[in-house]
């Protein structure tokens, strides 16, 4: 615990999306557990956050007019962050909305504009990378990709096929680079966004990474912490929600908890849990229909998270919910961490988002992988090729899904690999890393 010598505050600036807000909240909770005050700054269009006493949430003007319609997309949020929010966040950092000594600003690298705000205010700034470090290395390698002729100056692939892009990592295709989402214009704009973000991040002295030290090869000598700038703190983040810390993590949508009662009635390790995350583009009506028919054909119980507001449900076959109601549940949103640690869950059909991946590792759940966009292809490559705790689906045909579920459920050695990975990702790292970081930020802080 830090000796109290006045109110010392850490201000945290997340990118305003579910997969970024949740881990940032847990970082804030970890700081609170060390005796600091933590303030998370969010744009005003975010309407839901936990009512808690430990971490303070401050909403600032974002220039977005969001009523009852759709939430702002990536490019609308980028506009708000770049053009509107810097002056608003500067007011927070300079003490207009918080009282005390601001000792550090922690900035999600997707909100890299806030790095300049901290610099202007003369406050030490640390970056936060909410994904695995391999994805940071991949995006940081843009100059190499350009020099090697693998991508054009707009970020589009020049060469197709399987190209080894990241050293000491599984091979991924140039078609699977993290910025290749949406239309050609959107891909080019995202590439520009990432180049700017990486350029800004090069100025940082500290980078808190939501990953574990030996992610490249579990059990090897590959260690992220050998880079003095990098602090792999996933274990701290994951374990920050224990007794005495924050009790409820942020959720942008209301959870349907009726699925927990349904899980109680299922046999141990029998349920296929299906969720494709919170932000990616819909998988499309045709694939929703194919997956629905394939899940029905397996004869296995399944729990499927399918948000009604996304338009995804339009692909469900007529009568599907009624026909499968005896052995299935389809809900709009669900308490995922509770589901993954439930005894009845046998495997998790996932898009391989990093938060979902870490939660599965936390509870040693086998993974059936269907990556959709962004860093998910790289995460999937690690899950399947390096850690071997999951199986990749090539499609949603009945045979694809039935064989995939069978392979992942029947692998006799997967539990042992999950246990080893759990040790590396969840247990091995500890609070000393964050203590060391705080000493670097503010040497006068006394930590017991």
pLDDT category, 426, cuts 50, 70, 90?
confident
Q: Are both 8-250+429-441 and 258-334+343-425 of the same fold?
A: yes
Name the CATH superfamily housing domain 258-334+343-425: Glycogen Phosphorylase B; (3.40.50.2000)
For strands 101-108 and 55-60, give the pairing.
unpaired
pLDDT digits (tens, 9 = 90+) for 147-166: 988 899 999 998 664 555 65
Neighbours of 227 (CB within 10 A): 12
**Residue 444 C-beta-side C-alpha neighbours within 13 Å:** 6
**CA separation for the pair 255, 258 (Å, rounded):** 9
Strand runs (DSSP E) across 15-110, as ranges?
Answer: 37-43, 55-60, 101-108
Single out the residue of 95, 91, 110, 81 nearest to residue 37, CA to CA: 95
Domain edges within the chain: 8-250+429-441, 258-334+343-425
pLDDT digits (tens, 9 = 90+) for 274-314: 998 765 555 778 888 999 999 999 999 999 998 765 555 67
pLDDT category, 3, cuts 50, 70, 90?
very low
pLDDT digits (tens, 9 = 90+) for 367-406: 999 999 899 999 999 999 999 999 999 999 999 999 999 9
What is the token pair recorded at 103?
Answer: 């000792």
The stretches of 149-284 forming alpha helices (DSSP H) are 184-201, 234-238, 258-264
Lowest mean pLDDT among 209-213, 307-311, 314-318, 442-446: 307-311
pLDDT category, 326, cuts 50, 70, 90?
confident
Neighbours of 154 (CB within 10 A): 12
Neighbours of 319 (CB within 10 A): 8
- Look over the chain and give the mean of its residue pLDDT values, rounded to a whole number: 84
| Domain 8-250+429-441 CATH (choose: 2.40.50.100, 3.40.50.2000, 3.90.320.10, 1.20.120.420) | 3.40.50.2000
Global pTM reads: 0.88
Burial of 398 (0-12, 13-18, 19+ CB in 10 A): middle
**CA separation for the pair 58, 42 (Å, rounded):** 6
Q: Specify the residue for token string 């600091």.
A: 36
Element housing 145 (H / E): helix 142-147
């Amino acid at each position: 615990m830090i000796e109290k010598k006045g109110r010392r505050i850490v201000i945290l600036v997340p990118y305003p999306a579910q997969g970024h807000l949740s881990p940032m909240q847990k970082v804030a909770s970890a700081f609170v557990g060390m005796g600091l005050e933590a303030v998370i700054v969010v744009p005003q269009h975010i309407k839901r956050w936990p009512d808690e006493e430990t971490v303070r949430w401050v909403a600032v003007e974002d220039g977005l007019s969001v009523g009852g319609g759709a939430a702002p997309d990536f490019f609308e949020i980028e506009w708000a962050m770049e053009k509107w929010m810097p002056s608003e966040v500067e007011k927070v950092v300079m003490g207009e909305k918080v009282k005390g000594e601001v000792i550090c600003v922690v900035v999600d690298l997707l909100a890299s504009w806030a790095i300049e705000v901290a610099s202007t205010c003369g406050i030490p700034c640390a970056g936060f990378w909410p994904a695995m470090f391999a994805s940071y290395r991949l995006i940081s390698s843009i100059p190499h990709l350009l020099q090697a002729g693998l991508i054009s100056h707009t970020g589009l692939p020049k060469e197709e096929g399987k190209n080894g892009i990241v050293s000491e990592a599984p091979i991924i295709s140039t078609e699977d680079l993290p910025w290749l989402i949406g239309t050609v214009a959107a891909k080019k704009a995202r590439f520009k966004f990432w180049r700017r973000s990486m350029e800004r991040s090069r100025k940082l002295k500290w980078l808190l990474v939501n990953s574990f030290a030996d992610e490249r090869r579990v059990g090897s000598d590959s260690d992220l912490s050998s880079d003095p700038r990098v602090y792999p703190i996933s274990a701290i983040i994951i374990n920050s929600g224990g007794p005495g810390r924050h009790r409820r993590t942020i959720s942008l949508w209301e959870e349907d908890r009726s699925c927990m009662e349904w899980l109680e009635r299922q046999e141990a390790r029998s349920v296929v849990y299906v969720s494709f995350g919170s932000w990616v583009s819909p998988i499309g009506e045709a694939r929703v229909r194919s997956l629905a028919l394939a899940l029905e054909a397996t004869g296995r119980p399944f729990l499927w998270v399918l948000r009604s507001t996304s338009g995804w449900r339009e692909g469900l076959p007529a009568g599907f919910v009624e026909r499968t109601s005896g052995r299935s549940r389809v809900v709009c949103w669900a308490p995922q961490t509770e589901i993954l640690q439930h005894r009845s869950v046998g495997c998790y059909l996932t898009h391989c988002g990093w938060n979902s991946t870490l939660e599965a590792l936390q509870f040693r759940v086998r993974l059936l992988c269907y990556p959709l966009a962004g860093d998910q292809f790289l995460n999937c490559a690690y899950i399947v090729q390096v850690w071997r705790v999951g199986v990749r689906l090539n499609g949603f045909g009945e045979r694809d899904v039935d064989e995939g579920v069978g392979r992942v459920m029947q692998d006799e050695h997967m539990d042992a690999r999950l246990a080893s990975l759990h040790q590396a990702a969840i247990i091995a790292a500890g609070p000393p890393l964050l203590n060391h970081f705080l000493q670097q930020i503010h040497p006068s802080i006394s930590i017991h």
